[in-house]
């Protein structure tokens, strides 16, 4: 029963992002929580920093939506498989400069690993392939297979 409660909390965490409900998202985080975004190599500490980072994805993808496709809980840990989908319709800040919107849709499969304490997220790790997102949305050129040289 305890694990099912944590799974529900984790699924609601993803739903809050989809709804842009940052109040609900923030309330699910412990004040000292950490967040690692493996696709961008970001590591953040503190609930306010996590909310800023995650809500920042709504700038380039205002219609960003996560669909939970699988879930597993063991003790105080929850693992979710999520498919994120959205349209690249806003500016995307990157370490290499700001990318203009292309209007193209993309989707990427991801894994979120949560650790809970007292019903709040104290640690989250988000695994996804950023290159897939950039290629699908036209933010970076797709690499073609090399042409054989004769």
**69-117 residue pLDDT tens:** 999 999 999 999 999 999 999 998 877 778 899 999 999 999 999 999 9
What does the pLDDT read at residue 136?
A: 85
Q: What is the DSSP string of 69-119?
A: EEEEEETTEEEEEEEEEEE--S-EEETTEEEPP---EEEEEEEEEEEEETT
pLDDT the model gives residue 141: 58
Distance of CA 11 to the CA centre of its chain: 13
Tokens describing residue 13: 């965490």
How many angstroms separate the CA atoms of 93 and 113, rounded?
25
SS3 51: helix
**69: phi > 0 → left, psi -120 to 50 → alpha, else beta; which?**
alpha
Q: pTM higher than 0.85 for the full model?
A: yes
Spans of all domains in the chain: 2-136
pLDDT at 149: 67
Q: Is the distance from CB of 139 to CB of 147 less than 8 angstroms?
A: no
Backbone angles phi, psi at 58, to 5 degrees: -80, -10
CATH topology of domain 2-136: Nuclear Transport Factor 2; Chain: A, (3.10.450)
């Amino acid at each position: 029963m305890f694990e099912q409660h944590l799974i529900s909390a984790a699924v609601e965490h993803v739903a809050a992002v989809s709804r842009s409900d940052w109040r609900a998202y923030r309330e699910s985080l412990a004040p000292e929580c950490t967040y690692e975004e493996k696709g961008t190599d970001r590591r953040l500490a503190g609930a306010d920093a996590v909310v800023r980072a995650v809500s920042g994805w709504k700038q380039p993808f205002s219609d960003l939506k996560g669909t939970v496709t699988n879930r597993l809980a063991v003790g105080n840990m929850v693992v979710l498989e999520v498919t994120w989908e959205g349209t690249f319709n806003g500016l995307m800040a990157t370490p290499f400069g700001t990318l203009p919107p292309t209007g193209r849709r993309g989707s990427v499969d991801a894994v979120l690993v949560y650790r809970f304490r007292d019903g709040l997220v104290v640690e989250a790790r988000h695994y996804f392939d950023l290159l897939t997102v950039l290629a699908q949305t036209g933010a970076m050129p797709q690499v073609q297979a090399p042409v054989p040289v004769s």
